[in-house]
Amino acid sequence: MAGSRDLVLILDFGGQYTQLIARRVREQHVFCEVIRFDTPADAIEARHPKALILSGGPASVYADHAPVCDASIFKLGTPVLGICYGMQVMVRALGGSVAHSPAGEYGKTPASLDTSATLFSSIPPQISCWMSHGDRVEDLPEGFRISARTATCPAAAMENSAQKLFGVQFHPEVVHTPQGTGILRRFLFDISGCVGDWTMSDFATDSALAVRTQVGSARAICALSGGVDSSVAAALVHQAIGDRLTCVFVDTGLMRAGEGDFVERAFHGRFTMPLVRVDAGERFLTALCGVTDPEAKRKTIGRTFIECFRQEALAMENVRFLVQGTLYPDVIESGSPVASTIKSHHNVGGLPADLPFTLIEPLRLLFKDEVRELGRTLGLPDDLVDRQPFPGPGLGVRILGAVTAEKVRILQTADAIVERHMRLAGWYGRVWQSFAVLPGNRTVGVKGDERTYAYTIALRVVESSDGMTADWARLPFDLLETIAHAITSEVAEVNRVVYDITSKPPSTIEWE
């Protein structure tokens, strides 16, 4: 990246914390990217990384088809830090041995560090660290020394400082390893020579340049939804190609109440690119008629969305690119080479193969909080940048089963009530997301003296830092009561409100 001298590449072996490693590195103002575990060494060398990090992973290095890296990466002279499975991969590649441990280690574990080791020279000798492994290193490769132990793991860390190769069996990237940031800083700055000068405005400048080069003299359209991601993507591409970008707001009919007007207000006067508003609510409802399976709904919405774009784009000349605000977690959850697919995200998995555009996804390396920072850097207003995330398929994944016009109207009304009261109580900005779900069941109730048989609304409020994991929010009972009362009073078709108290995992944030 121009303007930044540091690049760290993280080889992804499918570990649950790979994205967290990337966040921790970028928090140190060092730019990093997650790449496939099997990227050839010459392709890695060609990018001149300052350091490599090998992530953890669910496999055993001796399992059939266990992911392994190109062993030549250890001869590049680039510092390497192997974490958990990444350390075991290094051991195996360099001639050491790994075996199934008689006692695996999971959770917080005390470890003794050798502070004469290069990696730990500025770290206290006794630390608490986060372990999650069943295999352990038995024999070190030649030239390595043990640099940490725990009660059951004799090689909890190792290093060959002459060759700048380091391994830790524990996870320095998680908060349960309090000294983890210090260890990563030591590796990045003292050992690998990173400078830590990467900023969001570097990212904006570099990305705008890359988009300008890619688009050339053609035109692009952007799928503007009013959410943070597409708005920031549009602002970035607008910076790159000005009014050769046309923003298209497809009102799927599955959006929050009043969304179209909000989008027009937010963009009007701030940017010079044309904004086209397409009212496609009927079209989406027709396409969704009778579709009840969550994955089929996601794919139907994604397909219909692209069809609307195709129509708009065909009416314009020279449009070859489609800008989307796809984020890192969307990319990962839609299936990394080694992680399993959880949901087909609208922005990625739902796209048909015959897409006539080349996709531009300028945010695909960023996490949500980074996108917000980028939005501010690009001059977007706070009320837009601080909006809670809203999924591409919209209310389509919050109405369980078949989507109908009536259900959309009920959910939009209930959802607006949730947002209003979350804001009034000062909770809207304190949580990751707060919204209403319509499970579609009816229960018996009583309103006035009348028996009712009406819908239930589920309230979903979660705290999260990136949407990858989430905890249900401990809202005050009074606020829950206010919301439940407002919904059952203002929405005639609802007589019951329940609160979802599950975290992710085992559930997901959205219900479908």
C-beta of 346: minimal distance to ligand XMP in Å?
3
Cα torsion for 73, 78, 82, 88, to the nearest 10°? 40
**345 catalytic per annotation:** no
Contact segment (CB under 6 A) with ligand XMP among 120-128, 177-185, 232-240, 503-511 equals 503-511
Contacts made by residues 183-188, CB under 8 angstroms, sequence distance 24+:
183/119, 183/120, 183/123, 184/24, 184/25, 184/28, 185/28, 186/119, 186/120, 186/121, 186/122, 186/123, 187/51, 187/79, 187/81, 187/119, 188/6, 188/8, 188/25, 188/28, 188/30, 188/50, 188/51
Q: Is 283 in the site for ligand XMP (CB under 6 A)?
A: no
Nearer to ligand XMP, 244 or 299 (CB): 299
Q: Answer whether 457's CB lies under 8 Å from 500's CB.
A: no
Q: Which of 105, 159, 173, 419 is catalytic?
A: 173
Q: Return the H-helix or E-strand segment holding 242.
A: none
Q: Which of 84, 129, 222, 308 is catalytic?
A: 84
Q: Distance between CA atoms of 421 and 403, rounded to whole angstroms?
A: 26
Q: Distance between CA atoms of 248 and 112, rounded to whole angstroms?
A: 58
Q: Is 370 in the site for ligand XMP (CB under 6 A)?
A: no
Q: Which of 133, 171, 238, 345 is catalytic?
A: 171
Sheet holding 80-83, edge to edge: 32-36, 8-12, 51-54, 80-83, 165-168, 157-160, 145-149, 97-113, 126-139
Q: Is 141 in the site for ligand XMP (CB under 6 A)?
A: no
Contacts made by residues 415-418, CB under 8 angstroms, sequence distance 24+:
415/256, 415/257, 416/256, 416/257, 416/258, 417/483, 417/486, 417/487, 417/490, 417/491, 418/459, 418/483, 418/487
Q: Is 346 in the site for ligand XMP (CB under 6 A)?
A: yes
C-beta of 467: minimal distance to ligand XMP in Å?
4
Q: List, in sequence order, the alpha helices (H) in 145-199.
A: 180-185
| Contact pick of 78, 147, 231, 347 for ligand XMP (by CB under 6 A) | 347
Q: Is 336 in the site for ligand XMP (CB under 6 A)?
A: no
Q: Answer whether 328's CB lies under 8 Å from 366's CB.
A: yes
Using CB under 6 A as the criterion, what x/- string covers residues 455-494 for binding ligand XMP? ------------x---------------------------
| Contact pick of 136, 171, 345, 496 for ligand XMP (by CB under 6 A) | 345
Contact segment (CB under 6 A) with ligand XMP among 108-116, 241-249, 259-267, 345-353 equals 345-353
Nearer to ligand XMP, 164 or 346 (CB): 346
Q: Is 6 in the site for ligand XMP (CB under 6 A)?
A: no
| Contact pick of 310, 376, 409, 504 for ligand XMP (by CB under 6 A) | 504
User: What's phi and psi for 429, nearest 5 deg?
Assistant: -80, -5
**For residue 293, what are the contacts with CB-CB under 8 A and spacing of at least 6?**
none
Q: Name the packing angle between helices 228-241 and 259-267 (round to 10°).
A: 30
Joined together, the tokens standing for residue 43 give 């392709």
**171 catalytic per annotation:** yes
Q: Answer whether 51's CB lies under 8 Å from 192's CB.
A: yes
**For residue 6, what are the contacts with CB-CB under 8 A and spacing of at least 6?**
30, 31, 50, 188, 194, 195, 196, 197, 198
C-beta of 202: minimal distance to ligand XMP in Å?
25
Q: Distance between CA atoms of 465 and 468, rounded to whole angstroms?
A: 8
Q: Is 3 in the site for ligand XMP (CB under 6 A)?
A: no
Nearer to ligand XMP, 20 or 129 (CB): 20
Site for ligand XMP in 411-450 (CB under 6 A): 433
**84 catalytic per annotation:** yes
C-beta of 391: minimal distance to ligand XMP in Å?
3
Nearer to ligand XMP, 357 or 390 (CB): 390
Joined together, the tokens standing for residue 89 give 């991969």
Nearer to ligand XMP, 188 or 371 (CB): 371
Site for ligand XMP in 378-397 (CB under 6 A): 389, 391-393
Contact segment (CB under 6 A) with ligand XMP among 24-32, 192-200, 340-348, 447-455 equals 340-348
Using CB under 6 A as the criterion, what x/- string covers residues 38-77 for binding ligand XMP? ----------------------------------------
Q: Is 398 in the site for ligand XMP (CB under 6 A)?
A: no
Q: Distance between CA atoms of 248 and 259, rounded to whole angstroms?
A: 14
Count of residues in contact with ligand XMP, rule CB under 6 A: 16
Joined together, the tokens standing for residue 505 give 């995992």
Nearer to ligand XMP, 377 or 434 (CB): 434
C-beta of 225: minimal distance to ligand XMP in Å?
8
**For residue 86, what are the contacts with CB-CB under 8 A and spacing of at least 6?**
11, 13, 15, 53, 54, 55, 56, 57, 167
C-beta of 389: minimal distance to ligand XMP in Å?
4
Q: Is 343 in the site for ligand XMP (CB under 6 A)?
A: yes
Active site residues: 84, 171, 173
Binding site for ligand XMP (CB under 6 A): 330, 333, 343, 345-347, 389, 391-393, 433, 467, 504, 508-510
